[in-house]
Chain A
Amino acid sequence: MTDLSANSAPLGAAQRNHLRRRNRHQLMLQGFGIAAISFAALMLFILVSSLVGTGYKAFTQTHIQVEVFVDPEEVSVEKLPRGGFRDVLQASLQAQLPEVSERADLRRLEGLFSNGAQFRLRDMIVADPSLIGQTVTLRVPMSDPFDQLAKGLVKRDTPEAQRRVTDQEIAWFDRLDQAGMITQPLNWGLLTNADSRFPELAGLKGALVGSFWALLVCFLISFPLGIGAAIYLEEFAPKNRWSDLIEVNINNLAAVPSVVFGLLALAVFIGWFGLPRSAPLVGGMTLALMTMPTIIIATRAALKAVPPSIREAALGVGASKHQVVFGHVLPLAMPGILTGTIIGLAQALGETAPLLLIGMNAFITSAPGSPLDSATALPTQIFIWADSPERGFVSRTSAAILVLLTFLITMNAIAIYLRSKFERKW
């Protein structure tokens, strides 16, 4: 700049004006870009902070630790796995709160425990019947209203009639709390439990496993098919009207709303082929339909980006077309292909509508053992929870979204890492 003005004749007025206008345009463009990015960042911040704000409470779960005397009169070896586990549990609380004796009150006392507590105890005894007649220490989740109370989501100053816990129950809770029986450890159950009607027991395991199977099926179908199609179209297919038509169709396919693929899958995979509803296999096949165009487009772009000089070099020493493609072009395009694939899979992971249509929003309380078992997926699980009336599911929905986002961010980070690691300068 200084050189310019020092060496050349002074700029005329018109040129100066022109220059000023040009600089102003550049500044405006820059300002616009910065504004757009700031806006996007702000929105992202609001989204994440609201999710974290509601979701973080679901990462802990209120537990109660009780000394349970496994009364041989209630639980006997002969009758396992049946037995009065509920009564045994009830008795353990009654030992702490001796004044409670009315039948109705005892019922409500039992309500402090999660509904799963008795099954936890039962499994423990079934596994080791020698515990009968002994006192065991048991730490089990508390039921949702008390979990909410412990987390301050149920306010003590709301009138009793509008509260889910009575004043008496609060008093019990406080006494047990003072006795040091109530803790709030990390909620591993969120990841290791399958779905449940009871929020304190509900976890994402079923959805995680379901999503894993679905993505695996999706990858196994869309990756080889997508790459194969892209290689054929890019390297071998004659360029004529047919290939143009196919190209247009593939680009359109990538833009088709996902719910349409769901309908297609419902009609074809479930209707004609008779594959089971709600199965991750069908979910993966449906997602593959959507991922394949993405992979084809990314692969073609990556193949195109391989410089022609490499192809010429290989052809020049007498490599066949096939050797050029598989020996040189494809390996060089691989980072780009993988990046596109991961981004495609990340999209598939978050896809909800087609999975709803094929029934992957069923209520299933065990994780699928194979891709043919009924299952949910992460986004459909979020959908189910968001739809549930229990208060405990509100924070769990946010927590599940955070888990999903974590996976998405991880996948995209891997894609970015691959891209920068293998990026080549020619």
Chain B
Amino acid sequence: MYDAPKLERNVDDRTIKFSARNVHVFYGETEAIKGVDVDILDNTVTAFIGPSGCGKSTFLRCLNRMNDTIDICRVTGDIRLDGHDIYDRSVDPVQLRAKVGMVFQKPNPFPKSIYDNVAYGPRIHGLARTRADLDAIVEQSLRRAALWDEAKDRLDQPGTGLSGGQQQRLCIARAVATSPEVLLMDEPCSALDPIATAQVEELIDELRQDYSVVIVTHSMQQAARVSQKTAFFHLGHLVEFGDTGQIFTNPHDERTESYITGRIG
């Protein structure tokens, strides 16, 4: 698939959001990602699965250049968003991160009010010209994150006072408030109970209408439930990438099969 001639790939470009080629990531001397090629499609949920320490988070963090904040981290290869190299000199990582939002494993709302949490991104990027604009963005984002009904009466209360599941949805609202094109989620449900997890999963499915979503998860069931594409990482390699149905029912690589059936991990 990746060796396809250039011509064919260009045809696919219409729906490809991210395309990564020959990506290597080093932490100092150790190589955490060893040559990954992958295409992430628009309006699709892509799941990254694999055993702990295989480099899922590392690769995910390459996509919005969060790795830049780690001194010893070095990224080589080619990662393009809509055909533009995101590691190009001319690209400002700060602007990139407004376009490629991120939700973290542990809910991490700012110790500010719910309103200010959501409004923070639009404020620093100057997305709202008036207070009414900002109010509208906040409401819309909270609705997107299915938190509006619970939060609308307590917008001025601290975001840290919400329950864990609500906090995570607040973080999602905060991420979508900057109208990103891609949403990266690193194990967004690992700190949540099953009910909150179900809510967030439902949310992810809805977000797919507007965004390309990449989700790292340790739960096979979750990957199977929410994603259309699945990528299996192992020891820094992208072992297999394809339709979720195919990966879970008919994996081509035996490592994928062992992992899915629970023999490695």
Point out residues on A near B: beta carbons under 8 Å: 238-239, 307, 309-320, 323, 328, 332, 424
Contacts and interface: CB of A to CB of B under 8 A. Distances in A.
Specify which of A313, A317, A320, A328 lies most central, judged by the most chain B CB atoms within 10 Å of its CB. A317
Given A238-B71, A424-B111, A315 B97 contact: yes
A316 B186 CA distance: 12
Given A238-B71, A239-B71, A319-B94, A314 B125 contact: no
A55 B169 CA distance: 63
B109 A313 contact: yes
A318 B69 CA distance: 12
Given A315-B69, A316-B104, A323-B124, A310 B94 contact: no
Given A238-B71, A312-B104, A313-B171, A318 B110 contact: no
Interface of B: 64, 66, 69, 71, 94-98, 101-104, 106, 108-111, 120-121, 124-125, 171, 174-175, 177-178
A207 to B, nearest CB: 43
Nearest to A328: B110
B61 to A, nearest CB: 10
Contact of A316 (B64, B95, B111, B124): B64
B131 to A, nearest CB: 19
Contacts of B97: 315-318
A129 B163 CA distance: 78
Contacts, number: 61
A312 B57 CA distance: 13
A17 to B, nearest CB: 40
Contacts of A238: 71
B38 to A, nearest CB: 21
A408 B34 CA distance: 60
Given A239-B71, A312-B66, A313-B171, A319 B124 contact: yes
A321 to B, nearest CB: 8
A77 to B, nearest CB: 71
B110 A314 contact: yes
Contacts of B69: 311-312, 315
A344 to B, nearest CB: 26
B108 A312 contact: yes
B98 A318 contact: yes
Nearest to B120: A317
Contacts of B71: 238-239
Given A313-B108, A318-B98, 11 more contacts: A307-B108, A312-B102, A312-B104, A314-B110, A317-B101, A318-B94, A318-B95, A318-B97, A318-B121, A318-B124, A318-B178
B185 to A, nearest CB: 11
B104 to A, nearest CB: 6
A168 B254 CA distance: 116
B36 to A, nearest CB: 22
8 contacts: A311-B69, A316-B104, A317-B97, A317-B121, A317-B175, A317-B178, A318-B96, A318-B178
B69 to A, nearest CB: 6
A318 B111 contact: no
A124 B80 CA distance: 89
A313 B120 CA distance: 11
- Most B Cβ at <10 Å: residue of A239, A312, A318, A328: A318
A313 B124 contact: no
A424 B174 CA distance: 22
A238 B72 CA distance: 11
Contacts of A424: 111
A304 to B, nearest CB: 15
Contacts of B103: 316
A316 B175 contact: yes
B92 to A, nearest CB: 9
A169 B244 CA distance: 109
Contact of B111 (A315, A320, A323, A332): A332
Contacts of B110: 310, 313-314, 328
Contacts of A307: 108
Given A238-B71, A312-B66, A323-B124, A317 B174 contact: yes
Contacts of A316: 64, 66, 97, 101-104, 175
A309 B69 CA distance: 13
Q: Which of A239, A314, A316, A320 has the most B CB atoms < 10 Å from its CB?
A: A316
A309 B108 CA distance: 6
B207 to A, nearest CB: 16
Contacts of A319: 94, 120, 124
Best-buried of B108, B109, B111 by chain A (most CB within 10 Å): B108
Contacts of A328: 110
A328 B171 CA distance: 16
Interface centre among A239, A307, A314 (most CB of B within 10 A): A314
A328 B110 CA distance: 8
Nearest to B99: A318
B108 A317 contact: no
A232 to B, nearest CB: 15
Given A238-B71, A239-B71, A312-B104, A317 B109 contact: no
Nearest to B64: A316
